[in-house]
Amino acid sequence: MNLGRAAERLGITEERLQGLQETLIKRSSWPEPRLLRFEKTASGIEAGTVIFENGEIVYGYQKIRRALMLGPAIKRHFSGIVAVEEKMNGHNVRVTSVDGSIIALTRGGFICPYSTEVAKRLLPEAIFEEQPDLVLCGEMVGPENPYVPKDIYPTDTIDFYLFDLSRKNCKSTLGVHRTHEFAREHGIKAAALLGEFRAENAYEPVTRMVRRLGRQGREGVVMKDPENRRPPMKYTSSESNCNDLRVAFRYYNDYALDFFLSRAVREGFQSLEWRESEEERRARAKRLGESILLPMVETIQKKQSGENIVQRVQIRVKSLQTAREFEYHLRRSGMKAIFDQPEPEDDGYLVRITRLIMSTNDKTQALLEGEMW
Ligand code: ATP
Ligand code: MG
C-alpha cells in the first residue's frame, strides 16, 4: 500500500497515518480491492473514509446535523437560497470504480457485496469509464433493502437515488445543481429536488412538504446550500420518527438509548412549533404512544408463546456468489442471520434472511422468567 501518497493527499504526515493505523484505521482485505478504513473521525478526516491499495481515497459522507426547531434553525444556519431535497430512507452508499470495477461502500467504509451488485445493475457502466474518479453518493431504498426495508417507494425490490457527487481524493461535493443535472444526463434517479427558497421564506413551504411527506410515510427533507457555503441540515416527519420508534421498540434491547430519546424529543419540538390544537396534540401523543407500546407488547407476547425474536428480510441477487458474500459481510458486521436456500427465479435468486435479534430475545426471556431489569 502506498501510504506516502495517501498521507500527502489526506494532508497529514506518513508517520501520523501509520500511527492511526493501529488505532482508528482498520484494514479490510475482503472483498477485493483491499483497503484501509477510518473507523472514527481522525485529524479532521471523516469516519468511513477509505484508502485503496492503489493510494486512491474516497472520503466519508459528511454527517448531517438535524434541526429540532425548524424555523429558527433555517434562519440561523442558512443565508441566501436553500434547496430542499427529499430525505430518502434506506442506507447510504458511495459508488465508485477502482481499477475498472464498480464497488459500493457502506457508510462505515466496507464494500457491501449486495449493494455492489445492485449498483452494477442500476448504474450505466459508461459513467465510470468516462469519469473513473467520480463518487456517486446516494441512498439504496426499497422493500428488499436488508438493512432498512421500506415499502413506501415505487419499487418492488431495491432502488438507488443519487443525492451528491464527489470525486476521489476530494473532500468536497459538486453541489445540488450539478448532481441533479448529472442524474438527468445519465438517466439515473435522484432524491427529489422539492424546491428552492430564500432562507427567510423557507419555513412555511418546507413545513408543508414535511407534512405531506409524512402522510405518505416518507422520511423528511435535507436542506442544502446550492453554493455549498453551509453544511446541509435535515428535518423529519412525525410519521417517520414514529416508524423508527415502532421498529426500535420491537427490538427494544438492541438499540442505543439515545435512539429512543432523540426521537421522542423531536416530537415535542415539532408539536410546539406547529402550534397544535389540543386535539392535534392528543393525536400525536396517541401515535407516539402506540408506536412505543404496541410493538413492545407484541414482542413480549411472541417470546411468551415460545417464538424467537427475529426480523425477516429478503434480497434478490443475480448470482449465488453475491448471496454467499453478503452472508459473510453481515457476519463480519456482527449480525447474526440465517440465510434460506436461495430460490431460483427468472433472472437470479430470491434469498430469505432471518436476522436473530439476540439481545432483545434473551432479555425478554429473562424478564418473563422474573429476572430483574
Ligand atoms: P448522520 O450521520 O448524517 O447524522 P445518520 O447515519 O444518523 O446520519 P440519517 O439520520 O439518515 O443518518 O441522515 C443522514 C443520511 O441521510 C445521509 O447519510 C444519507 O444517507 C441520507 N439521505 C437521504 N436522502 C438524502 C439527501 N437527499 N441528501 C443527503 N443525504 C440524504
Ligand atoms: Mg437514514
Q: Is the pLDDT of residue 2 over 90?
A: no
Average pLDDT, the chain: 97
CA distances, 155 to each of 141, 236, 275, 296, 300 (Å): 9, 22, 36, 29, 33
Residue 120 to residue 114: CA distance in whole angstroms: 10
CA distance linking residue 267 with residue 242, whole number of Å: 9
153: CA distance to ligand 2 center in Å? 14
- Rounded Cα distance between 238 and 267, Å, is 7
Instruction: Evaluate the CA torsion angle 7, 12, 14, 16 in order and state its sign.
Output: negative
- The tens digit of pLDDT for each residue in 69-103 reads 999 999 999 999 999 999 999 999 999 999 999 99
Tens of pLDDT, residue by residue over 156-205, are 999 999 999 999 999 999 999 999 999 999 999 999 999 999 999 999 99
Residue 1 reports pLDDT greater than 90:
no
Pocket test for ligand 1, best of 41, 59, 86, 92 (most atoms within 8 A of CB): 92
What is the rounded CA–CA span in Å between residue 172 and residue 169?
Answer: 9
Expressed in angstroms and rounded, the spacing between residue 69 Cα and the centre of ligand 2 is 20
- Cα(343) to ligand 1 centroid in Å equals 33
Across 297-306, average pLDDT: 98
CA of 303 to the centre of ligand 1 (A): 34
| Ligand 1 binding pocket, CB closer than 6 Å | 61, 63-64, 85, 87-88, 92, 139, 163, 191, 222, 234
Residue whose C-alpha is closest to residue 119's, from 219, 188, 58: 188
- C-alpha of residue 318 to centroid of ligand 1, in Å: 28
Q: Whose CA is nearest to atom 13 of ligand 1?
A: 64
SS3 at position 337: strand
Q: Check residue 137 and give its pLDDT.
A: 98
Q: Which residue has the least CA distance to atom 25 on ligand 1? A: 87
Percentage above 90 pLDDT, the chain = 98
Closest by CA to 44, choosing from 72, 26, 29, 24, is 24
- In single-letter form, the type of residue at position 248 comes to A
If you take atom 20 of ligand 1, which residue's CA is the nearest one?
Answer: 92
Closest ligand to Cα 46: 1
CA of 138 to the centre of ligand 1 (A): 9
Comparing CA positions, the residue from 365, 327, 363, 323 lying closest to residue 343 is: 323
Q: Which atom of ligand 1 is closest in space to residue 66's alpha carbon?
A: 4
Q: In which region does residue 99 sit, left (phi positive, over 0), alpha (psi from -120 to 50) or beta (all else)? A: left
In sequence order, which residues have a C-beta less than 8 Å from that of residue 353 and are 6 or more positions away?
Answer: 146, 312, 313, 314, 315, 330, 337, 338, 339, 340
Q: Which three cell numbers stand for residue 228?
A: 455549498
- Please state the rounded mean pLDDT for residues 266-282: 98
The model's confidence at residue 39, banded by pLDDT at 50, 70 and 90, is very high
Say what the pTM is. 0.97
Unique residue bearing C-alpha cell 457485496: 113
Q: What CA–CA distance (Å, rounded) separates 26 from 59?
A: 15
Residue-range domains of the chain with CATH: 3-58 (3.10.450.740), 65-119+136-161+189-235 (3.30.470.30), 238-304 (1.20.58.2250), 310-368 (3.30.70)
> Where do the H-state alpha helices sit in the chain?
3-10, 14-21, 70-77, 113-122, 126-130, 176-186, 203-215, 238-250, 257-273, 278-304, 320-332, 358-368
Mean per-residue pLDDT for 276-293? 98
Residue type, 142: G
Longest Cα separation, the chain:
64
Mean pLDDT throughout 272-295? 98
Collect all residues with Cβ–Cβ distance below 8 Å to 203 and sequence separation of at least 6: 70, 71, 74, 75
What are 226's strand-pairing partners?
none
Answer whether residue 22 shows pLDDT above 90: no
Question: Comparing C-alpha atoms, which of 160, 166, 222 is closest to residue 189?
Answer: 160
pLDDT at 268 over 90: yes
Ligand 1 probe mutation, 61, 64, 86, most atoms within 8 A of CB: 64
64 CA from centroid of ligand 1 (Å): 6
